[in-house]
Structure 1
Amino acid sequence: MRRETGTPRDGWEKTVEGQGLAFQRAVHPKGLPRPYWDESVHYVFGMDEVLALEEQVEELHSMCLRAVQHVVETGRYADFAIPEWAREDVARSWERRDGHLYGRFDLRYDGTGPAKLLEYNADTPTTLVEAAIVQWFWLQDTHPDGDQWNSLHERLIDRWRALDLPPGPTHFAWTSADESGEDATTLAYLQDTAMEAGLATTAIAMEDIGWHEEDRRFVDVDGRWIRSVFKLYPWEWMLGDAFGRSAVRHATWIEPLWKALLSNKALLAVLWELYPGHDNLLPAHLDGPRGMSSYIAKPLLGREGASMRIVTPSGTQETRGSYGAEGYVYQGFQALPSFDGQRPVLGAWVVGDESAGLGIRETTGYITDDTSSFVPHRIEQQ
């Protein structure tokens, strides 16, 4: 693994925006010295590295599924801040093996040892358009004989075909509270993959989903029965909404309700309990740092690196935010590796239960947040 510099393509801004990255300006805070999509640099991997990482990712995913089974068997829902009224519904969703689509592992990796799991974005992961489409076309333009860890598009289509969905169109729902357009663009891309798979689809804002009390069903703005929904709307928000009790028992949701356990950072502590000392895990606990001299406190339901606290012998760093009411997990801290002063996080994608691709975000700090840039990658030809 190494970081290389290069010359951006002429007119790259128009190119990437035409490929779906129209939100690249809105999603990135103004005044930063580099753009959100930065193709002046890229990372290069050996095929042996990629094959090893793929294997580690699939093992991590299997471990996470085992963790869900453990939580359901032991009833540890309180550790995940699951409301009491929803716990049986989570169990039933898991026992039915309600179909799931995709997820993204965030990994620490420096090219010299096993990747370390930082967290699992298993409910509403984004950066998908960048990883699946934009960096693929960058590769074709700049390294036409090259390769990339990227089978996302094809695997998404195949996965849609494999899901057992009820009849009628699948609704694709985003929240109109997203002002950057990232969620809407991600949703439109996923809707395209579903249509390529042969599904009938229609788009809707979460705020426009109605509840028909007499018929006990969800309906869209045209009064059509909503039977299946892909949502870019977190389960923790849904469980806190007025319609949450109806949502867990009516309609087929993608991602399914059991994914609320995987998108919660309490998962990190459960994994460490089940697989203590595993090469791909960092120590993690729910009841405090337990004597760790270097650790990071992460809110169970935080986003974009907000409300975190890094504690090391040399001092403490904190990020702003309003998360943490549900509690924290305390994870052993290993600084992200530095490549030319930038610190990458590998976003390794899973579609269904299989490894499917890689996206990289990097920043100068220890926490990847909304100031981070997305950079492409390629696999070096042997």
Structure 2
Amino acid sequence: MMKAVIVDDEQLVAEQIDRMLVNAGVKVLGCCINPHEALGMAKALQPDVLFLDIEMPELSGLEIAKLVYADKLDMEVVFITAYNQYAIDAFRVNALDYLLKPVMEEDLMRSLERVTQRRQHRKAAVGTSSDGQRTVTAELFGKFALRLNEGLEPVRWVTSKCAELLAYMLLQPLEKEVSKWELVEALWPSQNSDKAGINLRSTVSRVNKTFRDCGLEITLTSVKNGYRLVLSNGAPAVDAMELESYVLEGVEPDSDNLSRVEQLIQRCSQPFLPEFDSAWCEPYRKQYRQYFLHLGKKLLLYYERIEAEPFKTLRLADLLADHEPYDESLREAAMKLHYRIGGSQRAAAYYEAYAELIHTELGASPSDTLAELLHSLID
């Protein structure tokens, strides 16, 4: 039986989560409304999962999570928050998931499934996978990270250029030979060729040393005029590559893949390689933004088709609109959802906020189609 601890300074919210977890067959070891006591409770009770409210006085859930991971406590963290804006911060501290208030049963069940999967994987692969190989994942959305066996702490790089070089190579076709001139132009465009060449060789050497130190059978191998990323035990699982394959292969969200599509959309809603400011990143950022929006809109249509819970559907519509604020098909979907949730007054308020946004930023007005939709909802 899964064991959980709940930390939320709102007693009623903590009790609600408690009831939902118990109904889901989870053993709740304790509830805590004082954030300063949360870490001690987690250490003493050793739950499988810690449900943490983010917005708490004096000590936030994000700070508590950092302490949990710093102490290498063997538990997952799921955040509870009233604000979607914390999603990126949640994943930066490597939380397994985050739930928006009011917490919906289907969202909670999704998080519990992810906890189960992560725990089973960790037990089956402490240091290695079942066939003796280490599993490797690469995250290009959010801060770049290479993780071993879904470890909490990513691989540490000697310099930021080491991480950038690996990210660049991971985005190339599998084991493609990349010329040293292409790498120099991408990573050291302002340096003269001699100095840039020295930096490239030094960075390659440091990357390979990091691979060896971590016991990874990955190598940046020198070829005639450049380098190739050689992967002895198969390619790492890369979030960007998974998103791309879903889009290019025309995958449609359905009941079988829904959980994975939702996780992928949440993961890929984060900025793409935000810590790198090199010009080579920009075309990839545009490309993967389009992939994200394409798959996200498919998921939104699926939610509409199955008549998913309106708050959940609205969160997705708002998330997509954050990336494409002037897409009126998204605004239409969101306005209908606001009407379902709060009636004509709420729909009208949403329309006015959007009208003010595009007037301020574009000097424009909402389309006739959007205006007509509003009139049809409030008449």
TM over 0.5: no
Structure showing greater relative contact order (alpha-carbon pairs closer than 8 Å, 6 or more residues apart)? 1
Name the structure where helix makes up a greater proportion of residues: 2
Q: Could you say which structure has the larger radius of gyration?
A: 2
Name the structure where strand makes up a greater proportion of residues: 1
Scaled by the length of structure 2, what TM-score is found?
0.27
